[in-house]
Amino acid sequence: MEMNSTLLKFAKPLLGLFVLAIALAACSTPKEKIVLKDIRDVVVDANTDPRLKANAIFYNPNKEQGKLKGIHVDIFINGKKAGVVNQDLKVKIPSRAEFTVPLEVELAIKELGFMNTLMGVLGGKTFQVKYEGNLRVTYHGVPIRIPVNHTDEVKIRF
């Protein structure tokens, strides 16, 4: 009997702390997900290794501010994997506002077919660019992964 009362004496405060930690974590997570609204200023830099540079425009619909810690997004051009954005960041996410994140991707021209891609770029062809992956975000120290799935039609010219 005495052992049960001693165990109960320690279990009650631990259970209370556990419930409090869960309640705080639930309150600190955002109610809505951050949205990728647009990809702007898309430029292909073909001086050395071909790179795609762009600005991703996100919108945070939540009243809480957060921090963008990283981006891991696969880039597909006309259905073929062309590159990966894998950036570690420290970007402040404003509440109920848009914010811009610069992206830079080394393109895998071999995967796309060099001659077809070159002819398409020189001819001003329109490409379907798909961004698929996730964002690493923290709200009040709680890490969250937010999925990204966005498709654009991009006309690229040098």
Which pLDDT band holds residue 61 (cuts at 50, 70, 90)? very high
With 70 as the cut, is the pLDDT of residue 63 above it?
Answer: yes
pLDDT value of residue 115? 47
- CA nearest to 64, candidates 103, 109, 95, 108: 95
Q: Does the predicted TM-score (pTM) go above 0.85?
A: no
Q: Which helix (DSSP H) or strand (DSSP E) does residue 109 occupy?
A: helix 109-112
Q: pLDDT tens digits, residue range 97-108?
A: 999 988 888 777
CA distance 127 to 153: 6
